[in-house]
Structure 1
């Protein structure tokens, strides 16, 4: 089994903090997610997280006008220059301070960052190779407090900067003679946003108290004059002009002098109007704004979750709607002005709103609190997650979107699992219920309860899907229900501590239960639910899982060990010491070192690989480990996050944060502010004076391998991380010798020796050669060629076919290959069913996805044909004697009924559904 797993995607978190950006075509949203950046493709219904990460949470993202480059800056001032075309980091830079905003000029030649009370303009990186991508051009001073926002004119001649000192500053990007800088006042609160009008120096400024000022400039952009050089530059230019032009230069200069004297007037601004958003006088702070210059549309977001749409400069209200009860942190408009993106950091919510049709294009929200558990569907297409917020979300692994959210639980979800069919989800919760959800009708069709109120800590379903079991945290009992009737079948007693994990044997009707009483008990579901074995451990059991073939049991204990047992003989076959592999970090407020803190850490979740040879372990650390079960050695270790904004990330504390009065982490920096909005004295309506800022601790709460074996998922503090096999750059030949070359493979194809060519291609294991060899076989010879394959190569051919279904257009051709292989070698492969299971499940997943897509298209075509036939039949049955008006009325009613038939099944969308 290969272990070239690399970070593939981030699900479960759609927005954390920072600014949203639309791509230049307006079809995708770029959203900061912690220390990563996710691109949501709204046209193709996909989300993709870039394979890069910053040291801290992303503070701001600047996008170049052509959409090729992006500058990603984190809270520590570190910047990454990223190519969005090849999805790689081109340059690292440190701005030596916290940066609030960054913006490219419209011509793409420069960009400005606001840092502290200054603005710095840099030369933007070009297409050619450069030693230093960021070259500082000018530094602009003026504001007395921190700068907050930037905007450029359309011709890139000037830019404007807003500040917390209630002033707005207009600066020239060049050395203009009549505009060096211009300061504007008129506001009574910090400036939130400022925008230039299209092809003009006219300006709009918005402050946090909900005031909008309209400023008019007396000079057009063409009226800006370059400042004449002085000093040695002027003498040099004058000497060159005299040498080249002589007397003509003198006459031209003499004529130009009076004109220059007439145009000595400086640029001036005057305030035309001042408008207010909060006319009722409530304490609703303006937090974000965006302006589209072509259609003159202003979008403003407020701390109460309300957003307004106004038309400028008349300030006509178009819409006033509420999207949530949390603060809107960022607003962005796409290039056409049709879609508006909103980000709410309090809920982790991302919304894209089409304001003309008043409908959602995208509405996604992660778990409000941390995710606790996850489970893969049997075909690997879906992932279900449960969180401390009581929500159960189902994610599509291909698109990366959540398409259904169940909110029936009233407390935190502790366990989730799929049944063997893949259409039923069973969840346990601290609210004392176990619920079963149907993925066909998206409803809760079973609710299992206990005779006495109890808190369930885990859940498991047997391979038949008929028996549901859940472990109690307070009564130390295991409850067994029937899925068909919903009745309680039995209550299993015997444990003397909280139940920490349950797992059914995949091959037999045996339930394993792990508890804090240092035992694992095996219960026989057939023989009156009696205890068959009790396995004694050296420490408290935290997780338990069976190998896919049911012949081995793995248990994670509190002393950082993983113990392996033979469930038939009740004998321990081995153990792994994982304390040194956890490598936990030191929290900011810890009194002890990280080395001593690691003694109290352990693995809390386990999962076997698809072939059962390796085991995946994670827990109270930022590392996920893959161990070889038989050899009991560490195969690979993954660092799931490098985000220093989380706690317990560093092994040693920073001495700069240590003072004579203690650690600076004890001083709450955000005690007087709520998400950047200042809180006045106690007794006001907004703000909670008892709330404190804290860093979440990095940890892994659940791990699962995909049934296909191609990827694995982990629920962490960062979100739902997906790691998949990186097969593009992997050269992994099979029984290769010097006789196998690409030239000999193609020579065998020309000689129509297809079997030998395909076998040599699989030994070389190059994807393009494999595709060329398989597609060279005529369709009527597929059965003959597939029957001549050795048994060892059949599994490799099936894996290649499964991966080809995802990218190839030759659907029928590869389906014929799959059918012939399974028909010819089906009986022989039964003896190796355990090893072939991941490949078959991968194949099933790929075929099922095509089946869903084609069936939707066929259903739509069938309904369209039925509609056309119904309309034509209705019109053909009309008699000529009927009046014209009645015929039109009858036709209209028939069209309405047919359209209602067309719309059935497409109107019930979830709050997390994608509406395009």
Structure 2
């Protein structure tokens, strides 16, 4: 129960590659992120990552018409059938090849995938349980090159497929007599998109060179006739009709006479018009397109980052705008046609644009390069991350969105931290500056520099927020500044290697610094900045951290060991060997085994839990480990990724890639293509993480426990992963007895024995039962029941009240519970402040969130009431003055009263009243 952390959300990256989809109601965007899928709820301003992952990066996502099912296909052709209602995987399937696109038919009975130069139609899974959810119906041949796009008619009778061989193919979903297939040419480049017109077989095709062809069909959709069966099927059908219709002349259903068939003829297409987007003659590839059939809106995205909105079939230009200088990878339109979603894989951008009002509904972008460090705010509501791209981003843990980005640093950010108040973020960078950012005004109000230019590798702020220190990578010195004045207070020298980590003691003015010179030094900030102690290590120190109570120090070393020290006596109290727990994977280009490669790997980041009993460790591996500090044993191991598109994931060498010419990974087979494979130089670990041109190496760069202890976050190659406690699945009874049952709890409630009912509900530890028992207590009796609770159960009730404040609407009721528990048991709880700290911080986080929400509403209502009173007073005064003076004097008085209120002139005041 204590370590039942499960994957909760993915922040830091919003889009990688693949196609975007809007849900049926048009309020949410489904975006593929690496090997996961994130749902952005635009109405409620929340993002949520589905708790599932594919083996490789997601290539395409198909959404059923009712929005209940989704088919997620990765680069290897592995497919997951996912229920979006219960957020679980229903079926696994392998398409035996790389799938380019997928599309459900509008009636939801079938779906088509494009794979290689063929299109395959499958029966869509139904509502009943099936042994095989995907049943192949037909395989369609025709194109000579790879197929690229699919679109269906509204009646699901036909679909169209585009290809790289510059042709567009119309296929019948049934065995139509007058339409088996129809090939359309007219383009000089690969087909990017093709769309049917609403309730028609007319279609539009768009090619990569920016050409749009309008095709007209001479047959309406209802003019398609079924092909007459032949052979034994025809005989069987004829026999059945003879038995049923003896009075009439028997004919085979759907069969027409030769004269009628000749008269009707086959389906034919003719090109009505051809339009070009690149009228100026500049070469700008069309990369993505989407079409809304009801309002006839065509949206096209280009490699230069511009997009056009046209009205078809007249090809009238509505808008032509630019969102970035990178190629637009995917475009989607919601069901109402109001919002347009754009995805740019080059920058990892996701934008939702409302084209009628010309405003952004959503504008999010992750870090361009990998994230290096993170920090939680003291109340746990925000997470700040720093990346190699020099950006500092602040994320809301509840919504999952980034709400501010600081771009003052000109080089990679190496460390981030919050001050104790949570209003200031301090960051260090390789550009030689340490900057302080204000979260109230969103500005950089302090910049700390050194006398000589140096690269800062880490940063730390003391508990008072007055002293800022940063470690240098090249001069081996520690610089100390004053937050108030920005002056450099001192330069601490003594280390003989780069500074790898800094940490202040939470309870004292002691600074611990770890270095590659195999030492950890303790500096006293108030005693002439002298070295208090020097801890000698057996290997290079990579990370250092204090326990929350300051009584213990943990150090991660290059030999994969974690050592624990008593900072007061400078004595080592324990050691953990973590080499076998790292379990390093093998890279594609490695010439040694994973076992030998593990000798050079180690933990690079550490973090104590809120109660200090366990420690979280991560490094150059796909695993994050939780160790029990006192027992020095591994409690649990988390696999942060199963994405084989990343490097160092395989344990053994893939013999299929070994040829007589060497490893195929070393051969750049697609060097001539635009998206060819870029092979990194030896030792290079950083690259373009958005485009994924080469396999980035899996690693964990930073770990932090939430102050509430309910979750922890890790910055990884995949993004910012958040793991939280999932209490819904596990049953964790507390001092359970055979006489304690839900029936007994409800019987005690009927007898109004509230204390006994609450105690029994807490022993069963079922949240719904505890909620029922607590909410049955009358408001006037909360104080009496709180005073009668044993000390051991007060913490349990307080923890439940804290979690209930996050979701419950009974705000005042639970606030009374909180007040009574803290007032009546406050002195007893002080003795166990260490274990109660996570609960109190969790309570503070939820109270602060409610305070922010309610205070804004109250301030707005108070302003409205003041305005209404001011308007009524000035009207009364005007009514009294009208018999005495002129109308101009009354108007002047009215304007003066509004100006005193701060509402501007009279028209603006009336406008505010209407709002």
TM bin, normalised by shorter chain, reads: over 0.9
- Aligned counterparts of 1:535 and 1:913: Cα–Cα separation in 2: 65
- Aligned counterparts of 1:259 and 1:506: Cα–Cα separation in 2: 94
Q: Note the alpha carbon deviations across 1:286-335, whole angstroms, 9 max, x for none.
A: 00000000000000000010000000000000000000000100000000
Q: Are the counterparts in 1 of residues 116 and 145 from structure 2 also a CA contact under 8 Å?
A: yes
- Aligned counterparts of 1:327 and 1:128: Cα–Cα separation in 2: 42
- Aligned counterparts of 2:538 and 2:502: Cα–Cα separation in 1: 19
Q: Note the alpha carbon deviations across 1:59-85, whole angstroms, 9 max, x for none.
A: 000000000000000000000000000
1:653 positional shift: 1.8
Cα pair distance change 1:457/1:684, threshold 3 Å: closer
- Aligned counterparts of 2:161 and 2:467: Cα–Cα separation in 1: 64
What does residue range 240-279 of structure 1 map to in structure 2 within 5 Å?
240-250=240-250, 257=257, 260-279=260-279
Cα pair distance change 1:541/1:903, threshold 3 Å: farther
Alignment TM-score, normalising by the size of structure 2: 0.95
- Aligned counterparts of 1:885 and 1:46: Cα–Cα separation in 2: 58
Cα pair distance change 1:640/1:813, threshold 3 Å: same
1:240 positional shift: 2.1
Cα pair distance change 1:261/1:22, threshold 3 Å: closer
- Aligned counterparts of 1:902 and 1:681: Cα–Cα separation in 2: 66
Q: Are the counterparts in 1 of residues 213 and 271 from structure 2 also a CA contact under 8 Å?
A: yes
Cα pair distance change 1:588/1:401, threshold 3 Å: same
Cα pair distance change 1:876/1:219, threshold 3 Å: farther
1:863 positional shift: 3.5
1:781 positional shift: 0.9
Q: Are the counterparts in 2 of residues 403 and 912 from structure 1 also a CA contact under 8 Å?
A: no
Q: Are the counterparts in 2 of residues 674 and 687 from structure 1 also a CA contact under 8 Å?
A: no
Q: Are the counterparts in 1 of residues 677 and 693 from structure 2 also a CA contact under 8 Å?
A: no
Q: Are the counterparts in 2 of residues 343 and 351 from structure 1 also a CA contact under 8 Å?
A: yes
Of stretches 454-463 and 863-872 in structure 1, the one that deviates more from structure 2 is 863-872
1:629 positional shift: 0.4
- Aligned counterparts of 1:227 and 1:888: Cα–Cα separation in 2: 86
- Aligned counterparts of 1:626 and 1:803: Cα–Cα separation in 2: 24
Instruction: Look up the SS of the partner of 1:327 in the other structure.
Output: coil
- Aligned counterparts of 1:908 and 1:87: Cα–Cα separation in 2: 51
1:526 positional shift: 1.1
Q: Are the counterparts in 2 of residues 9 and 49 from structure 1 also a CA contact under 8 Å?
A: yes
Of stretches 899-908 and 616-625 in structure 1, the one that deviates more from structure 2 is 899-908
Q: Are the counterparts in 1 of residues 101 and 150 from structure 2 also a CA contact under 8 Å?
A: yes
1:749 positional shift: 1.4
Cα pair distance change 1:904/1:140, threshold 3 Å: farther
Q: Note the alpha carbon deviations across 1:586-618, whole angstroms, 9 max, x for none.
A: 110011111100000000000001110000000
Q: Are the counterparts in 1 of residues 758 and 770 from structure 2 also a CA contact under 8 Å?
A: yes
- Aligned counterparts of 1:881 and 1:723: Cα–Cα separation in 2: 68
1:697 positional shift: 0.2
Of stretches 4-13 and 902-911 in structure 1, the one that deviates more from structure 2 is 902-911
Q: Are the counterparts in 1 of residues 501 and 542 from structure 2 also a CA contact under 8 Å?
A: yes
- Aligned counterparts of 2:508 and 2:477: Cα–Cα separation in 1: 22
1:27 positional shift: 0.1
1:769 positional shift: 1.0
Q: Are the counterparts in 2 of residues 502 and 544 from structure 1 also a CA contact under 8 Å?
A: yes
Cα pair distance change 1:589/1:773, threshold 3 Å: same
Q: Are the counterparts in 2 of residues 714 and 721 from structure 1 also a CA contact under 8 Å?
A: yes
- Aligned counterparts of 2:885 and 2:265: Cα–Cα separation in 1: 72
Tell whether 2:781 aligns with 1:781: yes
- Aligned counterparts of 1:579 and 1:716: Cα–Cα separation in 2: 19
Instruction: Look up the SS of the partner of 2:96 in the other structure.
Output: coil
1:880 positional shift: 11
* Residue equivalent to 2:479: 479
- Aligned counterparts of 1:913 and 1:472: Cα–Cα separation in 2: 54
Cα pair distance change 1:478/1:878, threshold 3 Å: same
- Aligned counterparts of 2:30 and 2:255: Cα–Cα separation in 1: 54
- Aligned counterparts of 2:689 and 2:485: Cα–Cα separation in 1: 51
1:889 positional shift: 15
Of stretches 17-26 and 761-770 in structure 1, the one that deviates more from structure 2 is 761-770
| RMSD of aligned Cα (Å) | 4.6
Q: Are the counterparts in 2 of residues 511 and 524 from structure 1 also a CA contact under 8 Å?
A: yes
1:222 positional shift: 0.7
Q: Are the counterparts in 1 of residues 217 and 270 from structure 2 also a CA contact under 8 Å?
A: yes
Cα pair distance change 1:202/1:850, threshold 3 Å: same
- Aligned counterparts of 1:619 and 1:140: Cα–Cα separation in 2: 49
1:740 positional shift: 1.3
1:888 positional shift: 13
Cα pair distance change 1:881/1:732, threshold 3 Å: closer
Q: Note the alpha carbon deviations across 1:667-715, whole angstroms, 9 max, x for none.
A: 2244223348999999999999999932100000000000000000000
Q: Are the counterparts in 1 of residues 675 and 693 from structure 2 also a CA contact under 8 Å?
A: no
Cα pair distance change 1:882/1:362, threshold 3 Å: farther
Instruction: Look up the SS of the partner of 1:79 in the other structure.
Output: strand
Q: Are the counterparts in 2 of residues 405 and 912 from structure 1 also a CA contact under 8 Å?
A: no
* Residue equivalent to 1:550: 550
Cα pair distance change 1:907/1:200, threshold 3 Å: farther
Q: Note the alpha carbon deviations across 1:390-413, whole angstroms, 9 max, x for none.
A: 000000000000000001111100
Q: Note the alpha carbon deviations across 1:165-217, whole angstroms, 9 max, x for none.
A: 00000000000010000000000000000000000000100000000000000
Q: Are the counterparts in 2 of residues 471 and 502 from structure 1 also a CA contact under 8 Å?
A: yes
* Residue equivalent to 1:899: 898
Q: Are the counterparts in 2 of residues 177 and 227 from structure 1 also a CA contact under 8 Å?
A: yes
Cα pair distance change 1:121/1:258, threshold 3 Å: closer
- Aligned counterparts of 2:459 and 2:475: Cα–Cα separation in 1: 15
1:490 positional shift: 0.5
Cα pair distance change 1:891/1:89, threshold 3 Å: farther
1:860 positional shift: 2.7
Q: Are the counterparts in 1 of residues 369 and 686 from structure 2 also a CA contact under 8 Å?
A: no
- Aligned counterparts of 2:682 and 2:209: Cα–Cα separation in 1: 19
Cα pair distance change 1:887/1:402, threshold 3 Å: farther
Instruction: Look up the SS of the partner of 1:885 in the other structure.
Output: coil
Of stretches 46-55 and 779-788 in structure 1, the one that deviates more from structure 2 is 779-788
1:244 positional shift: 2.8
Q: Are the counterparts in 2 of residues 556 and 604 from structure 1 also a CA contact under 8 Å?
A: yes
Q: Are the counterparts in 1 of residues 227 and 255 from structure 2 also a CA contact under 8 Å?
A: no
* Residue equivalent to 1:6: 6
Q: Are the counterparts in 2 of residues 669 and 693 from structure 1 also a CA contact under 8 Å?
A: no
Cα pair distance change 1:266/1:608, threshold 3 Å: same
Of stretches 387-396 and 253-262 in structure 1, the one that deviates more from structure 2 is 253-262
* Residue equivalent to 1:754: 754
Cα pair distance change 1:869/1:342, threshold 3 Å: farther
Q: Are the counterparts in 1 of residues 371 and 385 from structure 2 also a CA contact under 8 Å?
A: yes
Q: Are the counterparts in 1 of residues 623 and 637 from structure 2 also a CA contact under 8 Å?
A: yes
1:908 positional shift: 24
- Aligned counterparts of 1:325 and 1:682: Cα–Cα separation in 2: 30
Q: Are the counterparts in 2 of residues 668 and 693 from structure 1 also a CA contact under 8 Å?
A: no
Q: Are the counterparts in 2 of residues 672 and 679 from structure 1 also a CA contact under 8 Å?
A: no
Q: Are the counterparts in 1 of residues 903 and 909 from structure 2 also a CA contact under 8 Å?
A: no
* Residue equivalent to 2:324: 324
* Residue equivalent to 1:909: 908
Instruction: Look up the SS of the partner of 2:879 in the other structure.
Output: coil
Q: Are the counterparts in 1 of residues 199 and 221 from structure 2 also a CA contact under 8 Å?
A: yes
Cα pair distance change 1:842/1:687, threshold 3 Å: closer
Tell whether 2:656 aligns with 1:652: no
1:911 positional shift: 32
Q: Are the counterparts in 2 of residues 363 and 914 from structure 1 also a CA contact under 8 Å?
A: no
Q: Are the counterparts in 2 of residues 405 and 910 from structure 1 also a CA contact under 8 Å?
A: no
Q: Are the counterparts in 2 of residues 144 and 165 from structure 1 also a CA contact under 8 Å?
A: yes
Cα pair distance change 1:901/1:296, threshold 3 Å: farther
- Aligned counterparts of 2:616 and 2:840: Cα–Cα separation in 1: 22
- Aligned counterparts of 1:913 and 1:374: Cα–Cα separation in 2: 42
Gaps of 5+ in 2: none
Q: Are the counterparts in 2 of residues 679 and 687 from structure 1 also a CA contact under 8 Å?
A: no
Cα pair distance change 1:667/1:908, threshold 3 Å: farther
Of stretches 744-753 and 220-229 in structure 1, the one that deviates more from structure 2 is 744-753
Alignment TM-score, normalising by the size of structure 1: 0.95
Of stretches 254-263 and 413-422 in structure 1, the one that deviates more from structure 2 is 254-263
1:10 positional shift: 0.1
Cα pair distance change 1:909/1:724, threshold 3 Å: farther
